[in-house]
Amino acid sequence: MSEQHPKQVPWFVWPFYAIWRLVLWILNLVGRTVALILGLVFVFVGVLVSLTVIGAIVGIPLAIVGLLLFIAALR
């Protein structure tokens, strides 16, 4: 994610712009945290399901999706 150059914000709009940036930052943080937790849960459940031969059909892709979600949350 590249850092964008801040645009020239008029002084009378600046408080709203600052609040909006704070809300976006909080939503980004919450989204990454949820993705991180879901990724770990998917990996854990995928490994547990993969312990049986029949469950491996579902468990291995679930663990892979969880790993990819975990990696995406760390970026």
* 75 vs 71: CA distance, rounded Å: 7
On whether residue 50 sits in a domain, the answer given is yes
Range(s) of the domain holding residue 59: 33-75
Position 52 scores a pLDDT of 87
What length is written for the chain? 75
- What would the pLDDT profile of 14-47 be if each residue is shown by its tens digit? 999 999 999 999 999 999 999 999 999 999 999 9
Position 3 scores a pLDDT of 61
pTM value is 0.76
Q: Residue 52 carries which DSSP code? A: S
Residue 30 · residue 23 · CB < 8 Å: no
The total of structural domains in the chain comes to 1
Question: Distances in Å between the alpha carbon of 17 and those of 11, 14, 23, 31, 50?
Answer: 10, 5, 10, 21, 49
| Burial of 69 per CB tally in 10 Å (0-12, 13-18, 19+) | buried
On whether residue 68 sits in a domain, the answer given is yes
